[in-house]
Structure 1
Amino acid sequence: MPITVLLVDDDALVRAGLRAILEAQPDIEVVGEAADGAAVIPLVRQLRPDVVAMDVRMPLMDGIEATRAVLRTVPEPPKILVVTTFEEDEYVYGALRAGADGFLLKRARPAEIVHAVRLVAEGESLLFPAALRNLAAAHGNEQARQSFDKAALTEREGEVLRLIARGLTNAEIAARLHLGTETVKTHVSAVLAKLGARDRTQAVIAAYESGFVAPGSGE
């Protein structure tokens, strides 16, 4: 089954460019388009895409609010890939914090765009560049630290979270820690549950905001 994608951007040329790049791949199918975040929910319910490529700045409903709306109202919501011009944009960080799964730069090369869609669809790694790590750390506060401390991660879970923050997949974490892949999946699930995180991106944001992981550490 191909990865199905809904494109959401107020720029028709951007949508056309993304469609051409993605539909050239045998394992990706663009199933619909929208020009504003306000149109996302009915289209998601109708088309059931695997991934929504969502512009972060749109006139009626921006990508942050559209992300929140989808996750709040749609059962089994799709993965959300934020499409942006500037990776250090506070809007991008806001969308990721609201529940988006990764980000895509509009100036990215075709191969990078395809890779981003596949990566987000798989859900076993994340797109969280240095600029956004710095933003997450800058948003840290005592409440974030206290919430993280209350999660009471085990030493092994902490190791797994640090490797997730470096962008490693479950298989890569397993190889690094000399564990089975299923064991790593169990640890990842435990980390997400304890942190109350929807996915890996949310867990990594919590790790940076709490100070558990520092920008540039281990890279």
Structure 2
Amino acid sequence: MSVVVGADGRARCGWAGSAPEYLAYHDEEWGTELHGDREFFERMSLEGFQAGLSWITILRRRDTFRAAFAGFDIEAVAAFDDGDVARLMADPGIIRNAAKVDATISNARVARELVRERPGALDELLWSFAPPRRAAAPRAGDVPATTPESVAASRELKRRGFRFVGPTTVYALMQATGMVDDHEAGCWRSVEPTAPIPTAG
């Protein structure tokens, strides 16, 4: 898939034209630098729920996810009990997967310990794995599913007790939060580095 030109004359990554929701997400969020413990907990949680599904499924339910998970407030989700689990599993507005619901609550408890000790620690931890900038990929098919940085970040997150944070999920998180810029070459949102970064090999 290569860039597509929209009705507004702007060239975008090909996937951005496949659904109306994708266009706004592509233009306003995907690849935009994100910071904040709560913000990262939300994105981690949604990427975990997305595992095995298309992102549009999650994007269309994001508001109901936020309502169901107390706005992804770390302290609030960490305090969820069996009654909350039952409520979530009965909520048709989210993905009712018991393992993912349980992992989200468990991850909130891990994140709570991190940020209680030092606010900003989750944000700092994730950004510590951001790779150097590289040249934009010519096509979406040239974008990797994992990188050495996402593998390392996944390993560290799992070591700390986080779940549903495999290397592919973590790389999707990196793409979504601006740790990497995977907008295709020619996309209006692609920011090329001043010089191409040579690949290893």
State the TM-score, normalized to the length of structure 2: 0.23
Higher strand share: 1
* Bigger RCO of structures 1 and 2 (CA < 8 A, at least 6 apart): 2
